[in-house]
A and B are shown apart, each in its own frame.
Chain A
Amino acid sequence: MAATMKNVDEIRNRVILGEFGVKNVHTSDFPGNYPGYDDAWDMHKFQKNFRIDVVHLDESSMEFDMVGMDAAIANAFRRILLAEVPTMAIEKVFIYNNTSIVQDEVLAHRLGLIPIKADPRLFEYRNTGEEAAEEEGSEIDTIQLQLKIKCSRNPRASKDSSDPRELYLNHMVYSKDIKWVPIGNQADVFADSIIGPVNDDILIAQLRPGQELDIIMHCVKGIGKDHAKFSPVATASYRLLPEITLMETVEGEKAERLKRCFSQGVIELEDVNGKKVAKVVNSRLDTCSREVLRHDDLKNVVKLGRLRDHFIFTVESTGILPPDVLVTEAIKVLMAKCQRFLNELDSDINEVK
């Protein structure tokens, strides 16, 4: 292989953003691919390299770095977060009365998408299949909610008012109007946790005097693979850590231009001997727009790359579970899958014997 050692390191560890393409996007560090490298899987080496840094965490979103891992695994976490961590969502809508202009199906669809605050870990999956459809939900697998509201004229509205907010009562149906109806022992079991919609201000329908909604809803446990309403995250995504290297010093007007080519805070100007010199301050903030490569005099000054094994994860929860819990749940799901796979392998081996 004609490539020098330095080049090989770059190919192995960096994704290069060029003017006309992105290079080295595929994983190539499998055993035997590079002479002089031992790429065989080694638990110690992995443990040494692997780390997770939580950058930001609040009740609805988190950002963390996952370093020293293959993209396939990182992607598995992302996809599990999106589609396989279970939550509770409205699955059955029993419409006793709907005189609003929203069609029954559309109304049911809207209700289904409302995130319901209830810990899915405390519930069981409901049976699926033909006979199960007829079954009534029980306290261990179903939450019952009720929406009963009627719009009327506001008797205290001023005569010449034309503002619907003043003229009518209950003309906007929000998610806060959904009430929890405990079944069985649920009232005691969930006494300290309030079950209901996560957000109070989701508009469900608009009513006019005389129109009413009378609806009973059943929430069940499900996963996002089945329907997006069960997805516990608003988004879960990762990106690679950008790396910007300046090949030479950039000064004056060029430096100003260079700064403008990147997102704010990526490049700052420093005063060196009365001249403004560009310096990479925080390459993490870059969006990798490659704008700089459109400037002929700047494109050879910088080298744009991304660290192949450094994943910046962003998890935004719908509010049902905190994002850190979601990530641990996702890891548990993957572990369960691995365990199942191992079990399958074992059973297969036994069968062969």
Chain B
Amino acid sequence: MELLGGEFCDMTPQELAAPVNTVAVKGLVKQHIDSFNYFINVEIKKIMKANEKITSDADPMWYLKYLNIYVGMPDVEESFNVTRPVSPHECRLRDMTYSAPITVDIEYTRGSQRIIRNALPIGRMPIMLRSSNCVLTGKTPMEFSKLNECPLDPGGYFIVKGQEKVILIQEQLSKNRIIVEQDRKGAVGASVTSSTHEKKSRTNMIVKQGRFYLRHNTLSEDAPIAIIFKGMGVESDQEIVQMIGTEEHVMASFAPSLEECQKAQIFTQTQALRYLGNKVRRQRMWGGPKKTKMEEARELLASLILTHVPVKEFNFRAKCIYLAVMVRRVILAQGDNKVDDRDYYGNKRLELAGQLLSLLFEDLFKKFNSELKKIADQIIPKQRAAQFDVVKHMRQDQITNGMVNAISTIYRLYLIKLKVYFLKLLAVLLSSSAEVSFNSSSGNWSLKRFKMDRQGVTQVLSRLSFISALGMMTRISSQFEKTRKVSGPRSLQPSQWGMLCPSDTPEGEACGLVKNLALMTHITTDMEDGPIIKLAFNLGVEDVNLLCGEELSYPSVFLVFLNGNILGVIRDHHKLVSTFRLMRRAGFINEFVSISTNLTDRCVYISSDGGRLCRPYIIVKKGQPMVKNKHIEDLSQGYRTFEDFLHEGLVEYLDVNEENDCQIALYEHMINKDTTHLEIEPFTLLGVCAGLIPYPHHNQSPRNTYQCAMGKQAMGTIGYNQRNRIDTLMYLLAYPQRPMVKTKTIELIDFEKLPAGQNATVAVMSYSGYDIEDALVLNKASLDRGFGRCLVYKNTKCTLRRYTNQTFDKVMGPMLDAATRKPIWRHNILDADGICSPGERVENKQVLVNKSMPTVTQTPLEGSTQPGQPQYRDVPISYKGSTDSYIEKVMISSNAEDAFLIKILLRQTRRPEIGDKFSSRHGQKGAFFFSLS
């Protein structure tokens, strides 16, 4: 091991890769599972808390209050009110949804009584496999096999209506951060996309003829910035200038904006608000108390512009300072073009299943509550014998169907998301307690306006091979429009080193927009920021609310940001950053909180928000890596885990921004006196698919990219439970082989246990002309002996329904030939029960299930005579295919709708034929053209 030298000299590569092992194994789908766990355990309670009380306009005494919310374990309803735990594989086979009940504890009034009800179901939540509520967590491989589950299966997907669905990771620009950028004409501007639980909005700052304007959706035209300042209560021009900066050129740049305000004759807050009130875009009203234009303008400033900056009781101080910092950034950027890079990964956030589902659940929960309120409003005024009991009106199907449909269909989720935004916006504008209609038809146009149109978010998990399934779990899709012809978002970004795989991206349309996570990347989840704020103030940060404004631009201080909000200023930023890091290494703050200094902007950024990319590094102190030989030994013997390394401050996670603030050595011999961190293993910069390539550094780079796309199509094995699966299409190799040349990644991801492909001897030469243009000639004897022999499984489904007129589908036995008393040819393979028998060979047009269906399925009209016996007509399920198949398996069960479900698994064995493709692991594919005997 000349690479690491020094301390690691005497260690074998296997031992060195040991720390990677523990990280990578968990890491590949950990982000999905973590995010989902966070949602069902933490976020869902927050959503409940934010919408905890329902009141009625009809009866001020009536209320419903949620006390708690839980997501249970996945189960299935056997009969009325009898449930039993269900395994994921049963759901796959029976076309059911692997979901758990969502139950709530509520307190409500019935008449004059106050009632507390516990564990009341309100709907069902699809459960991610291997998440905290999945039956598979904490099971041993033995228990896995009892549940018909593959212990190597990564999990992280959902099973909805029997299909495995993945919610792809979505990449988007950071929320709540100031991005300074140039528009097409070269003018510098700043924009912020604010997002909080309540509201989401986008605020732009632009420069026109040397004057600053604020542009926002709710304003019908751009508002001069000075007027906004005045509207927020900073009436004195001096104060505005102080906040922005008192340097000569800054003042000079801002002077025209003040002048414009002067010309408009606006000097007071009232005047400013009146001016803004006229610019507020008119919205349709749904009743509620009418408000004056001034009130509207104040409301707008408080809650729609820069919504993430908190405004309490119209104290605009923090927001003014934020706005001033925005102006200052633009002024400073104007001179020397220091605009931010949109493609930089420090400015990106990855959205995972948990975040998407929480948005969805929030919407459904609100809809559920508003429905309850509507019912209450309708029913309470009517005098009834029984008192109004809200529990009787809580319907479960709305939330259940909402969740299931969102995951099983593709577009729905996004329309819903936009609707939420738009309606919230309305609700705020109206600022009334009036009922908000959720039947808004405006979902579509808002789509275009906020550029939030997304599709292809949930996809069916590709089970072509084990690698294709694993590769899908690490896939990231970007939201840029594929038609836009800009190279920026598609090109390789230096900041994606180690975070995203440089090779694994598709060719063509989605090139560079669809990416894959590298082996050790972790994606953060949201964290509490309260303790961090407290710590920052204790470390000497001066609260922004206590400053007069001029301090912001002092050359001696640095601004401190927390998740995009200004926390305050600090004199000694070095000390702040180093103490903060020490505290984190000691475990006093979460290991995923990042702190970094930006010297050009003179800022310290602290981030604790979710969706940041980060990865572990070995800490280096005084030129010595903290991880020593004995640690690695302990790790390989199981005395320590990777978590212990984290807690002991030997290893830490760095996000992209903090990486930029560190000196990271690639190998141990590269450590110098400034080095702060050491790379754990350089090969982890590649992803799962690129990790399968032996010696990738000897390949031309596009070959690695081709291989990443091709590795997923390789035939082989898909899981230990592959023979128990009944998939629509499954290809398996009769004799899969473990690769003779392997990489460390192959060991880490268990490709050896579930291989795809065979070891072959290849001669590269010119021969016979059947090998032109990457065609290949195979030895016939090898084919005879089983090279490339594969099994193709297909399934056929059949359901037996019950109809409204009490008739139902039937399966009839085989029809006998009148003369021979033997079944006719078409029914040859049927058993006495009318279903084909396993092991039989089926030919084209033979019947698999001899089903017949009643001719009349509708309830007859009243008065018409009911015929004694229902008439049946044959609707056989027959086999179609030019080549014969064998029946591997027949499954008889019932699906979620209590209909009989018959699934038949058909099998074909194929040997390679002319036109089949073969490939090496280096992006070299060729078609089979000739077999040589």
A-side residues, CB < 8 A to B, are: 82-83, 95, 98, 101, 103-106, 109, 113, 224-225, 227-229, 231
Contacts and interface: CB of A to CB of B under 8 A. Distances in A.
Interface string B893-912: 00000000000000101000
A106 B723 contact: no
Given A101-B723, A113-B786, 19 more contacts: A82-B781, A95-B839, A103-B791, A103-B886, A103-B888, A103-B907, A103-B909, A104-B886, A105-B886, A106-B789, A109-B734, A109-B909, A113-B785, A224-B781, A225-B933, A228-B780, A228-B784, A229-B784, A229-B785
19 contacts: A82-B781, A83-B933, A98-B839, A101-B723, A103-B791, A103-B886, A103-B888, A103-B909, A104-B886, A105-B909, A106-B789, A106-B791, A109-B734, A109-B786, A109-B909, A224-B781, A228-B781, A228-B784, A229-B784
B781 A231 contact: yes
Nearest to A231: B781
Contacts of A105: 886, 909
A225 B784 CA distance: 10
Nearest to A229: B784
Given A103-B909, A104-B839, A106-B909, A228 B886 contact: no
A227 B909 CA distance: 17
Contacts of B907: 103
Contacts of B781: 82, 224, 228, 231
Contacts of B888: 103
Nearest to B734: A106
A260 B781 CA distance: 36
Contacts of B839: 95, 98, 104
Contacts of B786: 109, 113
Interface in B778-829: 780-782, 784-786, 789, 791
Interface string B909-933: 1000000000000000000000001
The interface centre, meaning the residue of B784, B907, B909 with most chain A CB atoms within 10 A of its CB, is B784
Contacts of B785: 113, 228-229
A103 B793 CA distance: 12
A231 B780 CA distance: 12
B377 to A, nearest CB: 62
Contacts of A228: 780-782, 784-785
Q: Identify the interface centre among B734, B886, B888: most chain A CB within 10 Å of its CB.
A: B734
B889 to A, nearest CB: 11
B872 to A, nearest CB: 35
Nearest to B910: A105
Contacts of B909: 103, 105-106, 109
B145 to A, nearest CB: 13
Nearest to A227: B784
Contacts of B780: 228
Interface in B397-441: none
A164 to B, nearest CB: 14
Interface string B705-743: 000000000000000000100000000001000000000
Contacts of A98: 839
A229 B789 CA distance: 15
B903 to A, nearest CB: 18
A227 B784 CA distance: 6
Nearest to B841: A104
Interface of B: 723, 734, 780-782, 784-786, 789, 791, 839, 886, 888, 907, 909, 933
A193 B150 CA distance: 49
A106 B933 CA distance: 22
A231 to B, nearest CB: 7
Given A229-B784, A231-B781, A109 B789 contact: yes
A25 to B, nearest CB: 13
Contacts of B784: 227-229
A329 B742 CA distance: 44
A114 to B, nearest CB: 12
A230 B234 CA distance: 97
Contacts of A103: 791, 886, 888, 907, 909
A105 B784 CA distance: 13
Nearest to B781: A228
A83 B780 CA distance: 11
Nearest to A97: B839
Nearest to B779: A228
A109 B910 CA distance: 12
Contacts of A229: 784-785
A21 to B, nearest CB: 13
Nearest to B723: A101
Nearest to B735: A106
A50 to B, nearest CB: 29
Contacts of B933: 83, 225
A101 B886 CA distance: 14
A243 to B, nearest CB: 25
A254 to B, nearest CB: 30
Nearest to B785: A228
Nearest to A224: B781
A227 B781 CA distance: 7
Contacts of A83: 933
A101 B723 CA distance: 9
A83 B932 CA distance: 12
A233 B304 CA distance: 84
Nearest to A110: B786
Contacts of A106: 734, 789, 791, 909
Contacts of A82: 781
Contacts of B723: 101
Nearest to A230: B784
B46 to A, nearest CB: 48
A232 to B, nearest CB: 13
A231 B781 CA distance: 9
B210 to A, nearest CB: 72
Nearest to A79: B933
A86 to B, nearest CB: 16
A91 to B, nearest CB: 13
A97 to B, nearest CB: 9
B763 to A, nearest CB: 15
B782 to A, nearest CB: 8
Contacts of B886: 103-105
Nearest to A106: B734
Contacts of B782: 228
A314 B555 CA distance: 87
Contacts of A113: 785-786
B73 to A, nearest CB: 30
B887 to A, nearest CB: 11
A349 B835 CA distance: 66
Contacts of A109: 734, 786, 789, 909
Interface centre among A95, A98, A106, A225 (most CB of B within 10 A): A106
A103 B735 CA distance: 12
A113 B780 CA distance: 14
A84 B452 CA distance: 70
B521 to A, nearest CB: 38
A82 B786 CA distance: 17
A72 B863 CA distance: 94
A306 to B, nearest CB: 19
Contacts of A95: 839
The 7 A-B pairs with the shortest beta carbon distances in the complex, nearest first, are A228-B784, A228-B781, A105-B909, A227-B784, A106-B734, A228-B785, A225-B933
A95 to B, nearest CB: 8
A225 B786 CA distance: 16
Contacts of B734: 106, 109
